Every structure is written in C-alpha cells, then in structure tokens.
Amino acid sequence: MTRAVVSLLAMGGTIATTRSEGRATPRRGAADLAGLLAGLPAAIRTVDVRTVSSRAVTPADMWTLAEAVRREIDGGADGIVITHGTDTLEETAYALALLVDTAVPVVLTGAMRGPHLPGADGPANLTAAVAAALHAPLARYGPVVVFQDEIHVARLVSKHHSARVAAFSSPSAGPVGFVIENEVELLLGPPQDPDRLAAVAPPDRTVEVVMAVTGSGPRMIEAIAGDVDGLVVAGIGGGHLPPAMAEAVVRVARAGRPVVLASRCADGPILRGTYGGPGSETHLLGEGVLATRVLSPVKARLRLLFGLSAGLPATDLFPPRTPSTDPVRSRH
C-alpha cells in the first residue's frame, strides 16, 4: 500500500528555536522537525521556506509560502503542514486562504514553548497537525490552524494569549474540530463562502491599520494617507470612530483611496444601520467607507492588500451592503 505524502514546510518560529547566550532563536529546519514525528502513516517531505521569528514575516514571505504550497500540491502531496511562529500565524493562515486553491488539507501549527523548556508543546502540535493533514475532508475548510489538539479555520482564528500554551481560539465560533488519538473529529461544517480571491498576484501595494481610541483625532490618518494604497481602521465597538477621526477617514475615502472599517473588538460584526451621527457606522458607510463584517483588522488588511495587488476593486473585496442584506452571507 502506498503511504500518503505530507509536505512539511518550515517557516521558523518558536518550534524551531535553539538557545544561544540564554535566548531562543529559530535555527532548526524542516528536516530537524520531521525527526519529532514517529508512528504516523505518512512519508514526510521537507521544505525550508524561511527560518525566522514570525515578527519578521512579511506579505512577500506569505506569497513565497503560497507558491511553495502550490508546488508541493502539484508535486503530489496528500497534505501540507506548515510550521510557523505564533505571533503572526493567524495572518499567514488567512493569507493562504486568500491565495491558495487546494484540494488537500493545509494545516499550520507551531509552539509556545521552545524545545529546551519543560513541557515543550511543539512535538504534540506537529503530530496533531500531520494527523489533520492526512484527513482529506479537511481540505474543504481551507487552510486551518491546529494547536492544542483544536482545529480552527483561518478566517476566525486569533492568538488570544501572549504566553500560555493554549494561545489560540476562534471567538466567534470556537474550533471546528479536534484531533484525538491522531484522528480528526469535525464538529462544524466548512465555511459557506470561500476566502480565496478571484485573482492573485504578488503583493505590491501598501495597506496600513490605524486603531481608534478615545479622543482620536485626524493626525494619524492625515500623516499616512498620502503614502498608502488603502487603509483599514480598527473602530470602536460595532464600527464607530471619534468624530474628528471620522472626518479625516471620510476625506480619504472621498479622495478615492479605499478605507475599510473593522472592529477592534475580539468578537462581533460591524453594524450597518443602528446608530446615527458623526462617527457612527451609518455616517461612515454613507460616505463611502467600506466595511468588513467579522474579519479582524489584521485580516481585513491582508484581504485589501492582496486584492488590490491583484487588481481587484475594493468594492469587490468588501461589497457595500445595506442593513437588509442577509448577514449570514456577509462573511468578509
């Protein structure tokens, strides 16, 4: 019987660290990590993409990783596992959801404790990720994150704790499944809408995120508006901005640069038609500001960045909607 092939693509991160002068630095490659796996019914094919802390990962690296994933799939891999630092793992997972159309499972994982620490979680996370990559029905979910035996879809997963081993969650829905005894148990169906963009291209645009806080004025928006191709604003609550900041955001939108409104809240959608007055969601949407529905600001940025880079109109990426639009279908 032919053994399934799982391609292990390494990006660095805590799971790949060794200690030097008392500090952990990523140095181990995919072949080293493959040595942690034992007893799984798969042949492991190893590829080193990058060996860095995830704080250093860029959208260009995400594109390079997406190309590597496509090559491995074209080369006959039955599943893909990507090891990655946890700080920006959720962003890379969502970038792959935008960029890769796959018929095999694509699974991202990592570690919170380095291999030199007691209770290192890397081997268990990696083993569970490979088991998930061998479960063919998982491909319908798009790229997923497997951490602490939980399976999370890329659109919803976030790193909710900076240091605990159980660092990842999906506030809006929870995990879609688990890995128990190296077998996958799926609890929820795949996302109704695919995240993948209608066209893809290497990132060549600049999109920044600005967070609203109490009393925010126009200064930050005005300082960067001329240097970006698009802007994501992490609004307060259901999509609100302090009035002075809202005025600056509206000016950018009127000038023809796409501005996308997201929420700085960990859970919940952008509202469409509840509140009125300066800085309300109805004011901003009425002036041409676009809005995500449930995407976090960092993922809305990636959608806008890669979409604009591929020549897609911002209104296709974040379609304007009225309050009567069915919210169940308003995923982005």
Q: For 35-66, what is each residue's pLDDT tens digit?
A: 988 778 899 999 999 999 999 999 999 999 99
pLDDT at 321 exceeding the cut of 90: no
Tell me the CA distances in angstroms from 329 to 95, 286, 326, 332, one per residue in order: 21, 21, 6, 9
For residue 277, tell me if it sits in a domain.
Answer: yes
- Find, among 267, 290, 287, the residue nearest to 278 by Cα: 287
Per-residue pLDDT of 251-260, as tens digits, reads: 999 999 999 9
| pLDDT given at position 292 | 95
Count of the separate structural domains present in the chain: 2
| pLDDT given at position 1 | 57
Contacts of 117 (CB under 8 A, 6+ apart): none
Average pLDDT of the segment spanning 150-166: 96
Residues 15, 160: one domain? yes
- Top pLDDT among 193 and 66 is at 66
For residue 202, tell me if it sits in a domain.
Answer: no
* Structural domain boundaries, residue 154: 4-186
pLDDT at 324 exceeding the cut of 50: no
Residues 136, 26: one domain? yes
Residue pair 123/153 in contact (Cβ under 8 Å)? The answer is no
Tokens of 122: 């890397």
Per-residue pLDDT of 208-232, as tens digits, reads: 999 999 999 999 999 999 999 999 9
Residue 76, Cβ density class (10 Å: 0-12 exposed, 13-18 middle, ≥19 buried): exposed
Residues 281, 149: one domain? no
For residue 198, tell me if it sits in a domain.
Answer: no
Residues 50, 167: one domain? yes
CA distance 161 to 96: 23
Place of tokens 């704080």: 55
Residues 94, 226: one domain? no
| pLDDT given at position 2 | 77
Average pLDDT of the segment spanning 91-114: 97
Which pTM value belongs to this model? 0.94
For residue 263, tell me if it sits in a domain.
Answer: yes
Residues 18, 152: one domain? yes
| pLDDT given at position 39 | 76
Neighbouring C-beta atoms of residue 61, cutoff 10 Å: 19
Average pLDDT of the segment spanning 285-299: 96
Q: Is 274 helix (H, G, I), strand (E, B) or coil?
A: coil
CA distance 321 to 13: 39
Arithmetic mean of pLDDT over the chain: 94
| pLDDT given at position 185 | 97
CA distance 167 to 90: 11
CA 156 to chain centre: 8
Q: Is 109 helix (H, G, I), strand (E, B) or coil?
A: strand
Which one of 186, 221, 240 terminates a domain?
Answer: 186
| pLDDT given at position 172 | 86
- Overall size of the chain counted in residues: 332
Using CA of residue 217, residue 303, residue 157, residue 167, what is the dihedral sign?
Answer: negative
Residue 18 bears catalytic tag: no
The DSSP bridge partners found for residue 185 are 178
Range of lowest pLDDT (15-29, 95-109, 233-247)? 15-29
Instruction: Report the CATH number that the domain containing residue 32 is assigned in CATH.
Output: 3.40.50.1170
| pLDDT given at position 192 | 86
| pLDDT given at position 325 | 45
Residues 162, 223: one domain? no
Average pLDDT of the segment spanning 251-277: 96
Using CA of residue 212, residue 216, residue 217, residue 219, what is the dihedral sign?
Answer: negative
For residue 201, tell me if it sits in a domain.
Answer: no
Tokens of 205: 């645009």
| pLDDT given at position 329 | 45
- Find, among 210, 211, 257, 217, the residue nearest to 237 by Cα: 211
Residues 24, 158: one domain? yes
- Band of the pLDDT at 322, cuts 50, 70, 90? low
